[in-house]
Amino acid sequence: MDNGQQAGNGVSKTACCVIHVPDGAIAEICERFGNDKHRMLDILREVQDRFQCIAPATMDRIAEETGLTRIEVEGVASFYSFLSLQPKGRITIRLCDDIVDRYAGLEAVTAEFEDVLGIRIGETSPDGAVSLEYTPCIGMCDQAPAAMVNDVVLAGLTAETARQAAEAIKAGKRPEDLVSDRFSTLSPHERAVRMVDNNIRHAGAVLLGPVPEDVGLSRAVSITSAQIISTIEDSGLRGCGGAGFTTGRKWRFAAAERAERSFVICNADEGEPGTFKDRVLLTERPHLFIEGMTIAARAVGAKEGILYLRGEYVYLRELLEQVLEERRRRGLLGKEILGTRNFDFDIRIQMGAGAYICGEEGALISSCEGLPGEPKTRPPFPVNRGYLGYPTVVNNVETFCHAARILDQGASWFHEMGTEGSHGTKLFSVCGDCLNPGIYELPYGHSVRELLEMVGGQDAAAVQVGGPSGTMIARDSFHRKLTFDDLATGGAIIVFNGQRNVLEIVEYYLSFFVHESCGYCTPCRVGNVFLQKAIQKFRKGLANPEDIDYLKDLSGTIIETSRCGLGMTSPNPVLSTLENFPLVYSAMTKPGKDGIRDTFDIQSAIDGARKIAKRRSYIFDRDFTQ
Amino acid sequence: MSDAAQADLPRARIATVSLAGCFGCHMAILDMDERLIDLMKLVEIDRSPLTDKKRFTQRCDIGIIEGGCCNEENVHVLQDFRRNCDVLIALGQCAIMGGLPAMRNAIMHSDEPLRECLDEAYITGRYIRNTTHNVPNDPALPLLLDEVYPCTQVVEIDYQIPGCAPEGDFIYDTLLKLLTGRFRGFERDKIKFD
């Protein structure tokens, strides 16, 4: 995932020898996951957690145990940003480096951590105690700046609280102790809400209002799978992850496949910067989305399910394990659910490891299979041939929650909410420059202006709808409606006031895509770097008017020639601001003089040679000896 | 093209130069063979290695650039061309993309890529016989740039003729079309190399 940006990734032999990894421990970890190559990500995460590093010798050993080649293991280990080939500290502090965090005072927070710990971003303390690094959005934009300290989340940091936390870590306190002195006595749910505020500002009728337990599931076992699917189809439910595919059709396709096994996967890898709705559902409605998964399993005849939880939400893992266990105990998961013959279904949790691309359906399946999170070529679609080649339904957390409620309340109840083509309610995660950032459950069809009034963001000058891969709109478009047909969104609404620099935001989002591109398609791997450089040119005031055409051309090429959604949407920050903020761009361009490029700086270009030759340039430097 | 049409046109002034290239593109110009005589009815050549004129004698209509910029002199000359020519044509892959010399841009994971490159070329390389063990540093040698730049990053370029080197016929046809205002872009099979 780092595309080799971490210099010398492969040559860490000397450094890694510091940590002694007993051979038996690796064998034991592999054994625990059945020496299964498809559980590679779990194996590597475990090794990383215990030894803070995946050393070359370790990779050899893992390859031996799982029957893979060394390079395949290294391919996975080097792909995910939470796995490290260099030794990390026993405590890794990851500061969330989203644009919202930057505007909320990340710089001051970083300064405190660096000052107290005596290391800079990207460094590990010499005694191997602490590592400090930046990470893209960790899903806490409503309480920025935020940080992860190993598995613990610190939200709403200020310079003072950051200094306290850093001092406590330096004094040798465990990360849990930063949350509460009696952490071990708290329940998993208490721990989660103690760390992260859920900020539910508006509860709607479907998800965040009162929800009766497992009524939908009881109804699902009383009808046939065909009836379940037609109920979901009649409700008009569309996927809530961003793409908006009709859920009922997806289930129907999967159900139509004849196969020995099939799978239901819940996509809880919400990596889109500014999105944190799934975090709230996972914390407050865990039973509901698992109920939805169970219903989907009955509809398509799946016996196995996977919950793909993003690495940043590891603090919710305990809570979710507990919920799964409880449901198994109550006969809501496992063999013969609710006493129904031939209805077996169980779920395992697959932890991610810090890769945005894994939110893409194909990449998510690759990741579950223990491979680097690279998207798959479509067709075949996952509903036909997905996880391990079997039919697989992948839906977002919110979609499963909706499905469970639809089975409970009926298709027409859901269909009547929202607008034509966009039925039901949607969770909007609002953050940025507004008074009340948090979660709003609203029926589809509200205008952006109405939403801004609700959240206290009346002085907004720009709103990013749907995260970086969505659309950025200006004041003249605030009348537009939040529906699939107008402004489609996976839920992220980021508000920027008039003091924010649009081009700075665009450049940040491009740097995010540069970091998160899996590198498979050249136009995405290279093109996004070029886009970012071109925007830097604009920011420095060195752009010519024809550079605007270059931006459009290059964006078009990236969109057309990338195989997954990342490349198809990564130029959106550029294209949507070009369309909605044209004056920002034209104000930053000026025609070149005499056809000489202002962007080429001869002085910096010859500086290195001047030092090597130890003399001035006889062409471009003045002679001061005269 | 008829002789009458040719007679109506004033002869265009052309200047050419080889920067960080191998001179292959200039050889390709000569590869037009006897058609050079036809071409000379339409143009006269000012500053160029072909005439051995080292300076512009007057403003030119067209400047043809071979090679990218690897040192300060290349930059100086290219900027001079931009100031003295109405239209600039980048001829060949080095001028357009940096070409073979730009391979040194691939030395990236080094704190001092330029020094590393020079050391390998003059001191540490396996097949080097350099008894002085020094990197040449005569004051007459222009300073190298930190990397090799394609022409379009240094000045605005109006047209590009791709190829390594472009065929003589291709250069001839393109120049002829440009001179008579009939250039409408290249045929697809001319710019497709696989």
Which residue of B lies nearest to A608 if distances are taken between CA atoms?
Answer: B146
d(CA A262, CA A225): 14
Per-residue confidence (pLDDT) for residue B192, from 0 to 100: 73
Which tens digit of pLDDT belongs to each residue from A540-554?
988 988 899 999 999
Q: Taking each helix axis from N to C terminus, what angle separates A317-329 and A286-300, rounded to the nearest 10 degrees?
A: 60
- Render B6-64 in DSSP notation, one character per residue: HHHSPPEEEEEEE-BS-SHHHHHHHTTTTHHHHHHHHEEE-SBTTTTB-S-SS-EEEEE
Count the Cβ atoms, other than its own, within 10 Å of residue B100: 16
For residues A119-140, average pLDDT = 94
Q: Do A615 and B137 touch (CB under 8 A)?
A: yes
- DSSP-derived pairing of the beta strands A471-474 and B12-18: unpaired
d(CA B35, CA B37): 5
A590 interfacial to chain B (CB closer than 8 Å): no
Interacting residues of A182 by C-beta distance below 8 A, sequence separation 6+ = none
Higher pLDDT residue, B190 or B111?
Answer: B111
Please answer whether residues A311 and A82 qualify as being in contact, where contact means their C-beta atoms are separated by less than 8 angstroms: yes
The DSSP code for A315 is: G
B146 interfacial to chain A (CB closer than 8 Å): yes
Per-residue CA distances from B37 to B27, B173, B186 (Å): 16, 14, 24
B83 interfacial to chain A (CB closer than 8 Å): yes
A533 interaction partners in chain B (CB closer than 8 Å): none
B151 interaction partners in chain A (CB closer than 8 Å): none
Give the model's confidence band at A11: pLDDT under 50 very low, under 70 low, under 90 confident, else very high.
very low
Give the model's confidence band at A18: pLDDT under 50 very low, under 70 low, under 90 confident, else very high.
low
Q: Kindly report the CA angle at A363 between A357 and A369, in degrees rounded to 5?
A: 135
pLDDT at A14 over 70: no
Half-sphere exposure of A25 (CA within 13 A, CB side): 14
CA A299 to chain centre: 28
Give the model's confidence band at A586: pLDDT under 50 very low, under 70 low, under 90 confident, else very high.
very high
d(CA A224, CA A239): 23
Per-residue confidence (pLDDT) for residue A622, from 0 to 100: 85
Which of A542, A596, A614 best probes binding to B when mutated, by most B CB atoms within 10 angstroms? A596
Amino acid at B7: A
Q: Do A596 and B88 touch (CB under 8 A)?
A: no
- The strands making up A425-432's β-sheet, listed across from edge to edge, are A200-202, A438-443, A425-432, A492-497, A460-465, A471-474
B144 interaction partners in chain A (CB closer than 8 Å): 606, 608-609
Radius of gyration of chain A (CA): 25
Q: Do A592 and B143 touch (CB under 8 A)?
A: no
Q: Which residues pair with A246 in a beta bridge?
A: A238
A11 interfacial to chain B (CB closer than 8 Å): no
For residues A466-484, average pLDDT = 95
Please answer whether residues A530 and A552 qualify as being in contact, where contact means their C-beta atoms are separated by less than 8 angstroms: no
Q: Do B73 and A602 touch (CB under 8 A)?
A: no
B82 interfacial to chain A (CB closer than 8 Å): yes
Per-residue confidence (pLDDT) for residue B194, from 0 to 100: 56
What is the nearest CA distance from B6 to chain A, expressed in angstroms? Answer: 30
Q: Least CB-CB distance to B155: which of A596, A604, A614?
A: A596
A604 interfacial to chain B (CB closer than 8 Å): yes
Among A2-6, A348-352, A380-384, the range scoring the smallest mean pLDDT is: A2-6
Give the model's confidence band at A4: pLDDT under 50 very low, under 70 low, under 90 confident, else very high.
very low
- DSSP-derived pairing of the beta strands A418-419 and A422-423: antiparallel
Which tens digit of pLDDT belongs to each residue from A387-440?
999 999 999 999 999 999 999 999 999 999 999 999 999 999 999 999 999 999
H helix runs in A128-264, sequence order: 159-170, 188-195, 215-222, 225-235, 247-256
What is the nearest CA distance from B136 to chain A, expressed in angstroms? Answer: 9
Using DSSP, state whether A293 is helix, strand or coil: helix
Q: Least CB-CB distance to B72: which of A7, A595, A620?
A: A620
Per-residue confidence (pLDDT) for residue A10, from 0 to 100: 38
d(CA A294, CA A292): 5
Which residue of A lies nearest to B148 if distances are taken between CA atoms?
Answer: A605
B107 interfacial to chain A (CB closer than 8 Å): no
Q: Taking each helix axis from N to C terminus, what angle separates A277-284 and A317-329, rounded to the nearest 10 degrees?
A: 40
Reported in sequence order, the residue ranges of A310-434 that DSSP labels E, i.e. its strands, are 346-351, 392-396, 418-419, 422-423, 425-432
Q: Is A516 exposed, middle or buried (0-12, 13-18, 19+ CB in 10 A)?
A: buried
Q: Least CB-CB distance to B75: which of A602, A609, A615?
A: A602
For residues A41-53, average pLDDT = 94
Q: Kindly report the CA angle at A391 between A387 and A395, in degrees rounded to 5?
A: 75
Give the model's confidence band at A8: pLDDT under 50 very low, under 70 low, under 90 confident, else very high.
very low
A625 interaction partners in chain B (CB closer than 8 Å): none
Count the Cβ atoms, other than its own, within 10 Å of residue A115: 12
Q: Is A192 exposed, middle or buried (0-12, 13-18, 19+ CB in 10 A)?
A: buried
Which residue of A lies nearest to B152 if distances are taken between CA atoms?
Answer: A597
For residues A320-338, average pLDDT = 96
**Which of A376, A237, A378, A241 minimizes the C-alpha distance to A296?**
A237
Among A4-13, A321-330, A458-467, B27-36, the range scoring the smallest mean pLDDT is: A4-13
Per-residue confidence (pLDDT) for residue B193, from 0 to 100: 62
The helix or strand, by DSSP H or E, that contains position A241, with its residue range, turns out to be none
Q: Kindly report the CA angle at A47 between A43 and A49, in degrees rounded to 5?
A: 115
What dihedral do alpha carbons A170, A175, A179, A184 form, nearest 10°? -130
Please give the interface size between A and B, counted as residue pairs whose CB atoms are below 8 Å apart.
73
**Which of A254, A283, A248 minimizes the C-alpha distance to A268?**
A283
The DSSP code for A176 is: G
Using DSSP, state whether A67 is helix, strand or coil: coil
d(CA A372, CA A423): 36
Q: Domain B3-101+147-183 is classified in which CATH homologous superfamily?
A: NADH:ubiquinone oxidoreductase-like, 20kDa subunit (3.40.50.700)
Mean pLDDT estimate for chain A: 93
A388 interfacial to chain B (CB closer than 8 Å): no
pLDDT at B181 over 60: yes
Interface of B with A in 62-81 (CB under 8 A): 71-73, 75-76, 79
pLDDT at B63 over 60: yes
Task: Take residue A485 and report the two structure tokens written for it.
Answer: 């047909």
Q: Do A613 and B112 touch (CB under 8 A)?
A: no
A596 interaction partners in chain B (CB closer than 8 Å): 79, 82-83, 154-156
A223 interfacial to chain B (CB closer than 8 Å): no
Using DSSP, state whether A228 is helix, strand or coil: helix
Radius of gyration of chain B (CA): 19
pLDDT at A13 over 80: no
Q: Do B72 and A592 touch (CB under 8 A)?
A: no
- DSSP-derived pairing of the beta strands A492-497 and A425-432: parallel
Q: Least CB-CB distance to B154: which of A594, A600, A619?
A: A600
CATH numbers and ranges of domains, chain A: 13-79 (1.10.10), 91-197 (3.40.30.10), 215-416 (3.40.50.11540), 422-500 (3.10.20.600)
B88 interaction partners in chain A (CB closer than 8 Å): 595
A6 interfacial to chain B (CB closer than 8 Å): no
B110 interfacial to chain A (CB closer than 8 Å): no
Counting residues of chain A whose pLDDT is more than 70, the rounded percentage is: 97
Please answer whether residues A83 and A355 qualify as being in contact, where contact means their C-beta atoms are separated by less than 8 angstroms: no
B137 interfacial to chain A (CB closer than 8 Å): yes
pLDDT at B6 over 80: no
pLDDT at B92 over 80: yes
For residues B109-113, average pLDDT = 87
Please answer whether residues A373 and A357 qualify as being in contact, where contact means their C-beta atoms are separated by less than 8 angstroms: yes
Which of A606, A611, A616, A623 best probes binding to B when mutated, by most B CB atoms within 10 angstroms? A606
pLDDT at B5 over 60: no
Per-residue confidence (pLDDT) for residue A135, from 0 to 100: 95
Which of B143, B151, B156 best probes binding to A when mutated, by most A CB atoms within 10 angstroms? B143
What residue spans define the domains of chain B? 3-101+147-183
